[in-house]
Structure 1
Amino acid sequence: MPLVIALHSTAPAVLTGLGWALLAILFGSVVPYGVIWLGVRRGRLTDHHIGVREQRRMPLVYGLLSVLVGLAVLVVAGAPRPLIAMVVVMFAVLLIVTAINQVWKLSAHSAVASGSMSVLIIVFGLALIPSLAIVALVGWSRVRLGDHTVSQVVAGAVAGILIAVPTFVLLA
């Protein structure tokens, strides 16, 4: 998502868009995944899916902190407003999912998929509404893998939309 939004926001300056995207991806994906990878390597986490609820809190908190640092860097450096809005959406979705997952296993995958598709529809128009089928496929896969119930997937998808749409619209 940061790549798509950054490139769209800086068109036709592709290299500029790539630079902003790489910065957002570093703090929004690479660092958080690195924390999880290190946790698995050091034996603190059982797997990269963090299937054990008691192990989730710290990696999620580190992920939130990383996204916040990245957001601050993007704001100070003058990143395009839609990219900043997208990173705020990422932070907000992660924050709500983290909070809910302390007591109930909401599907983060569904929340991210529905939030992402919602932002794409806002940016590129209603012609992308069929892309919401991706959200259904993500949800189906989470249930099929036995990682979530249908209600956890639906709740995640609804949460993603309810968080992403107003946040992006207000900030972009």
Structure 2
Amino acid sequence: MLRNETRPTNNPAFRAAVVASHVLTPVVLATLFIISSPVRNASVSWAQALVAALFTTIIPWCVLLYAKLRGVVSDLHVTQRQQRHWLYAVTAGSIIAGLLVLRLMDSGRAIYGEVGSILLGLAVVALVNIWWKVSVHLAVGTFVALQFGSGNPGLHPLIICFIALLSWARIKSNEHTASQVCGGVFIGVLVYYASLAMASLLA
């Protein structure tokens, strides 16, 4: 078991790790990634980005919040692996609905690639989650960091530092083991390169 019965709540490092985990959640990072699409790609409009974010992260987050209030999940990070399956299914359904709405808006291919990469990452994490609890924080965090640093080698040291910080936060807060964190990083890298291939096919 990873979640200890007694946690060092008075430890400054532990508290900092918990704060970092809350601030750098997958929903925050994925929302920033989608919302910033018009900045990174001029062919994406702000309306398209907002609709994409609504269906990709905001609606699933509202469902999660409702589930937490009803006691369906133990916490907003859904640290209990067996509680994640239905949420992955709901999120996938919401993303697919968002793609249909974007189609009705006659959106360009770029936003499909952005949303499609999130859907791909969700599918990979959900598949792995059947057998093993992997860090979704690191999967999403690594993918988003690589996307923001794409084509800019000068940002590589910052990307490494960001991934290291998030890894430390998840391990220090006793939410994941080192192997689960490394698994998340691996998935993030895998989805990043898959998204590059997807973008080339949609170009």
Q: TM-score range by the shorter chain?
A: 0.7 to 0.9
SS of residue matched to 1:167: helix
Deviation, 1:171, is 2.0
Task: Extract unaligned runs of 5+ from structure 2.
Answer: 1-32
Deviation, 1:157, is 0.5
Equivalent position of 1:119 in the other structure: 147
- Partners of 1:166 and 1:81 lie apart in 2 by 16
- Partners of 2:82 and 2:52 lie apart in 1 by 28
Considering only CA atoms, is the larger Rg found in Structure 1 or Structure 2? 2
The structure whose RCO (Cα within 8 Å, separation 6+) is larger is 2
- Partners of 1:20 and 1:6 lie apart in 2 by 9
Deviation, 1:118, is 1.8
Deviation, 1:71, is 2.0
Deviation, 1:74, is 1.9
Equivalent position of 1:72 in the other structure: 100
Deviation, 1:166, is 2.4
How many residue pairs were aligned? 167
The CA RMSD over aligned residues, in Å, is 1.8
- Partners of 1:43 and 1:159 lie apart in 2 by 29
Equivalent position of 2:155 in the other structure: 128
| Consecutive aligned runs of 4 or more in structure 1 exceeding 6 Å deviation | none
* 20, 26, 34: which one aligns with 2:62: 34
* Contact 1:2 1:24 (8 Å CA) reproduced: yes
Equivalent position of 2:179 in the other structure: 151
The farther-off stretch of 112-121 and 137-146 is 112-121
SS of residue matched to 1:35: helix
Cα distance change, pair 81–59 in 1 and its aligned pair in 2 (3 A) = same
Cα distance change, pair 144–118 in 1 and its aligned pair in 2 (3 A) = same
SS of residue matched to 1:10: coil
1:83 aligns with 2:111: yes
- Partners of 1:168 and 1:32 lie apart in 2 by 25
1:97 aligns with 2:125: yes
Richer in helix (by share): 1
- Partners of 2:103 and 2:183 lie apart in 1 by 31
Deviation, 1:82, is 2.6
Equivalent position of 1:4 in the other structure: 36
Cα distance change, pair 76–169 in 1 and its aligned pair in 2 (3 A) = farther
- Partners of 1:140 and 1:109 lie apart in 2 by 11
Cα distance change, pair 168–79 in 1 and its aligned pair in 2 (3 A) = farther
- Partners of 2:197 and 2:153 lie apart in 1 by 15
Deviation, 1:51, is 2.1
- Partners of 1:2 and 1:8 lie apart in 2 by 10
* Contact 1:64 1:94 (8 Å CA) reproduced: yes
- Partners of 2:127 and 2:55 lie apart in 1 by 20
The farther-off stretch of 43-52 and 91-100 is 43-52
With the length of structure 1 as denominator, give the TM-score of the two structures: 0.88
* 107, 116, 122: which one aligns with 2:135: 107
Task: Extract unaligned runs of 5+ from structure 1.
Answer: none
